Structure 1
Amino acid sequence: MKHYLLSVVQPADGTPPSPARLAEIMRDVDAFNDELRAAGAWVFADGLHGPQTATVLRPKDGDVLITDGPYAEGKEYLGGICLIRAEDLDAALEWGRKCALATTLPIEVRPFMGQH
């Protein structure tokens, strides 16, 4: 089994879902995570706080500079991650499809390096 990262792509601006719609989405996400666990594909998943909570550490001249805020400004940001096990890219893409339907957000699927 190979490991894949499913990145939840969150729009930086936009109207958050209503509390009722958010509750429905979270039920779908919980069901997706339960399905991953039942299939033996689940490794780890969680949401992230917004980019305004980020701290960036940058090496410079043998030291490390620490700054607040995201590394880069953008129209989207990483809103959460799901680390899965899958036989191949096709299987990982199927999990990504299910994740996109559950979260209602774009999902980026990426394999980890060093796995053949």
Structure 2
Amino acid sequence: MRYTFLLYTDPADLAHMTPDDWAAEKEVYGAYIGALHEAGVFVDTDWLQPVQTATTLSVKGGSKQVQDGPFADTKETLGGYFVIDVPDLDAAMAWAEKCPAAKTGKVEIRASAMGGE
């Protein structure tokens, strides 16, 4: 079963980070990605640009509307995701608990509506 981890963080918590801090953070995530690969559960990941770079588009009601920025103004923003393929929610939660984002923000776990592979 495929699960997507949506990684949410408060950008204010990251504002103080130096280039060295970012390099260390990338190493931590690299180790996590390596562990997912080694376990054979890794499917995909991406680190997203800051929420200020977002563009939101809607064609609801037949009229295109474009908004600079995210759909909702919230304290925590979506910063990236992981997709894994594991047997069940318990296994997904075990991997989510190991995700570095769980230590600084939140990891939302969503099962794929399309199933596994």
- Structure 1 residues 56-108: Cα deviation after superposition (integer angstroms, max 9, x where no partner): 11124323211211111010000010011111001001110111368643212
| Aligned-pair CA distance for 1:19 | 2.8
Q: Which residue is 2:69 aligned to?
A: 69
Aligned length: 115
> Percent identity among equivalent residues?
34
Q: In structure 1, the residue corresponding to 2:44 is in which secondary structure?
A: strand
| Aligned-pair CA distance for 1:16 | 3.5
Q: In structure 1, the residue corresponding to 2:65 is in which secondary structure?
A: strand
Could you list the runs of 5+ residues in structure 1 that have no partner in the other structure? none
Distance 2:48 2:85 in 1: 21
- Contact 1:5 1:109 (C-alpha < 8 Å) held by counterparts: yes
Matched letter for residue 12 of structure 2: D
State the TM-score, normalizing by the size of structure 2.
Answer: 0.85
| Aligned-pair CA distance for 1:39 | 1.3
The structure with the greater share of residues assigned to strand is: 1
| Aligned-pair CA distance for 1:12 | 3.2
- Coordinate RMSD, CA, aligned: 2.1
Q: Which residue is 1:11 aligned to?
A: 10
The structure with the greater share of residues assigned to helix is: 2
Q: Does 1:20 align with 2:12?
A: no
Q: Does 1:82 align with 2:82?
A: yes
Distance 1:61 1:89 in 2: 37
Matched letter for residue 32 of structure 1: Y
| Aligned-pair CA distance for 1:20 | 2.6
- Contact 1:8 1:108 (C-alpha < 8 Å) held by counterparts: yes
- Contact 1:100 1:107 (C-alpha < 8 Å) held by counterparts: no
